[in-house]
Amino acid sequence: MDSGRVVYHNGKYVKEYDARISIFDSALMFGDMVFEMTRSFNKKQFKLKEHIERLLYGVKIYRIPLNKTAKELEDICYKTIELNEPVFSKTDEHRLMINVSRGPLGIYAPIFDYKIEPTLVVADFPLKWTVSYMGKLYDEGINAVLTNQRAIPAHLLEPKIKNRSRVFYQMANIEASMFRGKNNWALLMDTDGYIAEGSGDNFFIIKDGKVITPEARNCLVGISRNYIFEICEQLQIECIEKNFGPYEIYTADEAFMTGTPFSILPVFKFNELPIGDGKFGKITKVLIDQWGKNVGVDLIKQIKDFSKECEDIRNKTAGTTNPYQFSSPDTPK
């Protein structure tokens, strides 16, 4: 199906449906890829420079010979948005996906006439697809499920590099999906027994007016996570990094998760037990409202509107997996 959208692929802008990478690409063979996912607010990209900076750190550490500067990548992103904007609705937000791999493995070089280069793809699709099922979470809240699957420690795989070697996140999602109830999102501990992160999000608790998130030892340092520190400073709310375990979640007053597509989502329960009074926390709401004021968007209303708009998409994709939850026809309800 021709959506009218285009993607950037190694120097060319091609139709989204026609974009292809090789079956011999290291991304497919080894999960050997760094990536970023961004979003816009009122069509304006949020923290794009920070996303690109993190991407290039990953490219450097993974030793991928990508011959692109931060400015060149930024220009590609904005050109991709410009080309796609005519087929986006007025209310659509742009969700960029930037993927970089080292390209086909060298042993397959004869297939490519010995011309091996990194794979760079920038895709652009409506944000509403990602958040289409999240509107209800502002009323029902997330149930954070502590999984047996642990986060991979930094000495084995550096979590500050956003990479596609993410099967342990998927295994955590599968495990959380087996938990009875609804709105179950995986929460992983590190190998030291401290809370690390979700499967695609950072985790915060609030206790006695203080906002607390795990130390950045064994988790991705999220762009949205960092923005919470900015908002807390703006509101003169204390926000700290601290190692903590399950007990601190059970006894917290509030909890929430952060991630690029949804910004902030409230967590009402931990392993089906209420956090605080099991309702939308006051400080969590203050943080969401301030974020919205800063970017000029009513975050809750926007995601609820997207959820209503995408009801047909949800129905047609029921039983499929998304980045934050695993689902299958036999998943317990």
DSSP states of 88-102 as a string? S-TT--EEEEEEEE-
- C-alpha count within 13 angstroms, C-beta hemisphere, residue 41: 18
pLDDT tier at 3, thresholds 50, 70, 90: confident
State the fold for domain 6-126. Answer: D-amino Acid Aminotransferase; Chain A, domain 1 (3.30.470)
- The token pair that represents 301 in the structure block: 């209303």
pTM (predicted TM-score): 0.93
Which CATH entry fits the domain spanning 137-316: 3.20.10.10, 3.40.50.360, 3.40.50.970, 2.60.120.590? 3.20.10.10
- The token pair that represents 11 in the structure block: 């120097």
| Length of the chain in terms of residues written | 333
Residue pair 87/3 in contact by the 8 Å Cβ criterion: yes
pLDDT tens, 200-209? 999 999 999 9
pLDDT tens, 52-91? 999 999 999 999 999 999 999 999 999 999 999 999 999 9
pLDDT tens, 11-62? 999 999 999 999 999 999 999 999 999 999 999 999 999 999 999 999 999 9
Which of 332, 273, 264, 274 is closest to 299 using CA atoms?
264
Tell me which amino acid residue 94 is: H
Domain locations along the chain: 6-126, 137-316
DSSP states of 176-237 as a string? HHTSSSSSEEEEEE-TTSSEEEESSSEEEEEETTEEEE--TTSS---HHHHHHHHHHHHHT-
